[in-house]
Amino acid sequence: MATMQFRNYREIITLAAPIAGIQFAQVALTSTDLLMMGFISVQAVAAGGLAILLYNQLRTMCVGMVTGVGNMIATSVGQGEKRTGTSSIDATTQDEVRDLLRASMLLATIVAIAAGIILVALSYCLVFLGQSSTVVELAKPIMLTLAPGLLPMLWLNVLRQFAVGMRRAGSLLRVTIISIAVNALLDAAFIYGWLGLPKLGLAGIGLATTLVQIWTFFVYLRAVQRDEKLNTLLALYGFRAQPATIKKIARMGTPIALTYGSEAAITSIATVFMGTFGPVALAASNIVNQLAYIVYQANIGLSQGSSILVSRTAGKGQTSEVGAIARRTFTISFSIMTAVGLVYVLLPQAVLRPFLGDEADPAVLAAASTLLWFAIAHQFFKGSQNICIGLLRGLGNTKAGLTNTLIGYWLIGIPAMAVCGYWIGWGSYGIWFGLCLGFGATSFLLWWRFVTDLRMASATLQNPEYQGAS
């Protein structure tokens, strides 16, 4: 029994770990950027952190547009295995997978270019969002140099969904470690003018991230090409994609992208609110938010891994196993969140100092130390709601995530931030309290929706008319 339980948990971890690995690789770049900004000034941390947060919001929405591709490929492969009665797939499935990959690459290119244009436009609009002129002038150049990196980033995510859908995601641990080191070196080179490079300040930090994004994409592409099973299905020429397939991916991806965007938007709005309390509050919030964002990538991996498992399990009609997958996923997630929370409580200064340089500003350190307590609740709530979104997607429901996040974020979270931060007068801590309240409400609503959908799916399978039809 113990061996079977371990095998069940390992199945989730095996799928989730490679997904989380790529997520960590992406976030490691912006986290390294934030660390390096601490060597410039507190104002640089405030401005650069704001730029990174807006970049991450657009990046997250772009990723959402292609997230469903993994589920679509897994479904196609499952149907092919059912037709052949073996673990191999037929020619029809191979053509379907290639068409999905071509269509998703073309869609990714269009979406990434549009997002890059939006990021550049936002850099000129910060002055109208209550930010100081110093923050605006510092943030604009890094946003301009971060924008082109959205293209290779999204191509990488398409390849990731392709590999995950084929259950051959592989590992990016070595690439992740190397990319962090290279990014840090390039950041320093552009800050201090090393290796004969120009001193570009924050703009150089954004350029370094874009260059590393390009390198990471080609490294992962090479890894996919070396996999014999994946290489035979690799099709990257988007101009040969079927319009109907592009529309199909876009229809599934749009609710996911809007859900992810809504999730990122509440954090962006919280950051804009924090900026109204001055550079110290904004810098402290940016650091704590980045810490929470790093940990959040583990939950993204668990969400997508469990989503693939639920799709496969539900497709076989084994809905009784779906609940067990959900419980195991939450057990893994809560174990990680608890361990991280203990580190925040026991070693707050050790966690925060790397982001503040050798001469940490006492005011920023004190404010961030208090915000770490909110970050603990934030990580549990935000992680839970993302896992629920993945579980619902596994059941074929991508619209519930958008509906419930609109309620939890926009009708509860954002008004709570405004009331607690300004009307009640809790200041910056009130903003984070409202943020946690929004994620908590959303998590509850999504869990309730998942339980309801699971019961409906089970009842449908138990219906004699359904059994006869199938």
Tens digit of pLDDT at every position of the chain (470 positions): 555 555 667 777 776 776 777 677 667 777 778 778 877 777 787 788 788 878 888 888 898 899 888 888 877 777 777 677 666 677 888 888 899 999 999 999 999 999 999 999 988 887 776 677 777 788 888 899 999 999 999 999 899 888 877 877 666 666 777 778 888 888 888 888 887 888 888 888 889 889 988 998 998 899 888 888 888 888 888 778 889 999 999 988 888 888 878 877 888 888 888 888 888 888 888 888 878 888 888 888 888 888 888 877 766 666 677 888 888 899 889 999 999 999 998 988 888 877 776 556 788 888 888 899 999 999 999 999 989 998 888 887 878 888 898 899 999 999 999 999 999 888 889 999 999 999 999 999 999 999 888 888 776 655 544 444 33
User: In 10 A of CB 457, how many CB atoms?
Assistant: 17
**Contact 424/430 with Cβ under 8 angstroms?**
yes
* Full-model pTM: 0.74
Can you read off the two tokens belonging to residue 85?
A: 């009665």
d(CA 135, CA 290): 18
Coil, strand or helix: which one is 221? helix
Of 151, 95, 153, 145, the residue nearest 123 (C-alpha) = 145
| End-to-end C-alpha distance for the chain, whole angstroms | 33
- For 307, half-sphere exposure in the C-beta direction (CA atoms, 13 angstrom radius) is 30
d(CA 91, CA 83): 11
**pLDDT on residue 130:** 66
Can you read off the two tokens belonging to residue 84?
A: 């052949």
Return the H-helix or E-strand segment holding 80: helix 42-84
Of 187, 106, 226, the residue nearest 154 (C-alpha) = 106
d(CA 379, CA 374): 9
d(CA 139, CA 137): 6
d(CA 353, CA 359): 9
**pLDDT on residue 410:** 92
Of 52, 465, 69, 372, the residue nearest 241 (C-alpha) = 69
d(CA 60, CA 393): 17
Domain that holds residue 342: 2-469
Structure letter (DSSP) for residue 421? I
Of 289, 291, 371, 383, the residue nearest 336 (C-alpha) = 383
234: region left, alpha or beta (phi > 0 left; psi from -120 to 50 alpha): beta
**Contact 351/372 with Cβ under 8 angstroms?**
yes
Total of domains in the chain = 1
Longest dimension (CA), the chain: 74
**pLDDT on residue 352:** 85
Can you read off the two tokens belonging to residue 4?
A: 């079977």
* Dihedral, CA of residue 28, residue 33, residue 35 and residue 40, to nearest 10: 180
d(CA 64, CA 263): 11
User: In 10 A of CB 332, how many CB atoms?
Assistant: 21
**pLDDT on residue 358:** 57
